[in-house]
Amino acid sequence: MINYFLKRLLQSVLVMLIVAFVSFSLFNFVGDPVHNMVGQEASAEKREEIREKLGLNDPVYTQFYKFVSNASQGEFGLSYQLRRPVSDLIAERLPATLELVFVSAVIAIAIGVLFGVYTGINREGYVSNFILIISLFGVSLPTFVIGILFIYLFAVILGVLPSFGRGEVIHVGFWSTGFLTLTGLKALILPSITLSLFQMTYIIRLVRAEMMEILQTDYIKFAKARGINQNIINYSHALKNGLIPVITITGINVGTLIAFSIITETVFQWPGMGLLFINAVQFVDIPIMSAYLIMVAFIFVMINFIVDIAYYFIDPRIRFKEEMMTE
């Protein structure tokens, strides 16, 4: 197990170093940082003084080492546009994004697994066919189109849900949450459902395919021949084995929700990291773009690392393979 753990940890560190290098390259290849900070009016002496202060005259490997060292401590410099530490901006926006992604992931996994199991067991039922037809909308329609349709229906016509913003939030220490207020919960409904639809339909079809395949295997047929209760076969044997690949895909999809949240946050003007990144792109705010890239990559890597470790305990084939390699 230790070898498996260290191998996955080394892979995660390597991926983060590559992402850090790409993020570091933004400072050197996307405009001049000094020009973005002081503008055209600054004298050559002032520019040179700032370059020396920021360490831009140092060798590239020295700059990269300082960049990685600062990033590992959560220091990403000052925003060119807002003139504030990027770490403070991320700390303000991160709770909104994480709450949105958390609710979306819960909706996608809960409904996706439930409907996937149902359609896998009842393949020819009318309800199963209806669920599959409806799920096509989540795959075929772009996220921003679904969001606009929801806003038009529930905010403009019916007027029951807000169309933008996060509602009233309560600060619990450094964390700001909308879970504890009615307006915060209402504001969370439309963007979370919009963000979860694509992943939900993906999980439905994945679970359905796994259930249909496992229900045709020999050990399931043997269990039926022995007279074991059909519900025990479906939910104890088939579902348990069918969820093994689903765990891996779901873990990756949770990270994907963070990437897709850029579009959803823009449509609903949700004050999260995605909206912050969009504004940074418009104003070429490299420190924010760089920090966002590292943060998203770090979340992806951590989720995949946790899934790999969980996979080791869930799937006995991996444990057997690792034990054979160590002997």
Minimum mean pLDDT range among 27-31, 48-52, 181-185: 27-31
Q: Show which of 47, 72, 97 is a domain's final residue.
A: 72
Whether 199 and 317 share a structural domain: yes
What's the total number of domains in the chain? 2
Whether pLDDT at 319 is above 80? no
Calculate ∠ Cα 154-182-266, nearest 5°. Answer: 50
> Are 116 and 178 contained in the same domain?
yes
* Per-residue pLDDT at 84 exceeds 70: yes
| CB-CB contact of 275 with 265 (8 Å) | yes
For residue 193, the enclosing domain spans 87-326
pLDDT at 142: 83
Percent of the chain with pLDDT over 70: 89
- Is 56 domain-assigned? yes
Q: Given a cut of 60, is residue 327 above it in pLDDT? A: no
pTM of model > 0.95: no
Among the candidates 49, 72, 95, a domain finishes at 72
**Residues 107, 64 share a domain:** no
Mean pLDDT over 62-89 rounds to 81
pLDDT for residue 318 is more than 60: yes
Contact in structure between 12 and 301 (CB atoms under 8 Å) = yes
Q: Is residue 134 part of a domain?
A: yes
Indicate whether 77 belongs to any domain: no
* Domain co-membership, 139 together with 22: no
Give 198's contacts (C-beta < 8 A, 6+ positions apart). Answer: 138, 139, 143, 260
* 130 within a domain of the structure (yes/no): yes
DSSP-assigned letter for residue 229: -
pLDDT at position 288: 85
Co-location of 49 and 93 in the same domain? no
pLDDT tens-digit series, residues 161-196: 888 888 888 888 778 888 888 888 898 999 999 988
Answer whether residue 58 shows pLDDT above 60: yes
